[in-house]
Amino acid sequence: MKEGAIMSNWKRISTWTWAFLAAALVLVDAAGAQAGPGVLKEGRISNVEIAVWRTSDKAELAQLSLGDTLVLDAGVEVMMRAYAPRGNGPGDQRWYLPVTFSVASGDRQIRLSDVNSDKGSCTLRATGDTGGRAVEIRYKLARHIQVTRSELAKGIFYLKVERAASTPPPSGDRPGSSAGGTSERDMVERLFQGILLREPGRASSDFERTIRHDGYEGVVDVAYEIAESREARRQLRSADSTNTEHLEAIYRYLLDLRPSEIDRYQWRDHMDMMNRGDLSGVVMDIVRSPEFRRVHGYQSYGWR
């Protein structure tokens, strides 16, 4: 083979090699982008939550669902960002959503700034006491984001602004507490009955302590641990109950709903997940829902 032909073939092989490596790097970059939190450009979501950070020290203070009430001291400034939870775990897995925030007209005590609809973020400043009133904070999802339930496209949560307290609140008023709602023992019993279809037995005390200490976040952690247990996986494969009976028990014990009261679209989505063996996905979807928080008294967040 002539030297010129050899060089020509080498150049052609080198070009193909570099093209292949470049394409591989693009795929690796795309996979890396998928792995971490990012703004959701398109897709179908089944839940929307609002993360709240204090701007002074970037500490995350709350994760709000539809209908939740946030309590702030006058003068506090926070940043809010809408997201859809990713995965089944209780950790910080989320897709941030493109949304627009707004405040009910006529409320001068609340100021929004730095509104970024593409990132779904804004800064909120509580300038004065709202006198015990709950002010509506609204969001509206971008049109290209699809939702499993129509009420997710436009949502409302609430904000109360109070004068700064001179003493810290009692433990029952800590963020996510169930004061006045479902007790820790009753919550553990409900989780066991719905997920494992049995009484908790001696395991109850440890889980009760977790919920007593961490409030709503403790409930999420306990629910996830039970749903991811070996016993839960065995229960899902057991012939003792069908997926329909199991899902009915989850709704009954976690949401106080009879089969006739369950939204048929939500039932269909959850039954598909049960049939795929995704029990923890169903449990997390329900425990994170505003309906669960409303039923069990986990609707108010506050800090000093």
Return the domain boundaries, the chain: 3-35, 43-164, 173-300
pLDDT digits (tens, 9 = 90+) for 97-131: 999 998 876 567 788 888 889 888 999 988 877 77
Tell whether the model's pLDDT for residue 27 goes beyond 90. Answer: no
Q: Which CATH code is given to the segment(s) 43-164?
A: 2.60.40
Residue 191 parent element (H or E): helix 184-195
User: Is pLDDT of 31 > 50?
Assistant: no
Question: pLDDT at residue 191 above 90?
Answer: yes
How many residues can be counted in the chain?
A: 304
For position 7, what pLDDT does the model report? 47
Please give the model's pTM, rounded to 2 decimal places.
Answer: 0.54
* All residues at 6 or more sequence positions from 29 whose CB lies less than 8 Å from its CB, including other chains: none
Cα separation, 203 vs 101, in Å, equals: 43
The second-level CATH assignment, the architecture, of 173-300 is Orthogonal Bundle (1.10)
Q: How far is CA 245 from CA 62, 196, 250, in A?
A: 34, 12, 9
Decide the pairing of beta strands 77-85 and 99-103. Answer: unpaired
88: pLDDT confidence band, cut at 50, 70 and 90? low
Q: What is the pLDDT of residue 19?
A: 46
214-229 tens-digit pLDDT: 888 889 999 999 999 9
Least confident of 83-87, 163-167, 206-210, 293-297: 163-167
Average pLDDT, the chain: 77
Angle in degrees, 0-180, between the axes of helices 243-255 and 184-195, rounded to the nearest 10: 170
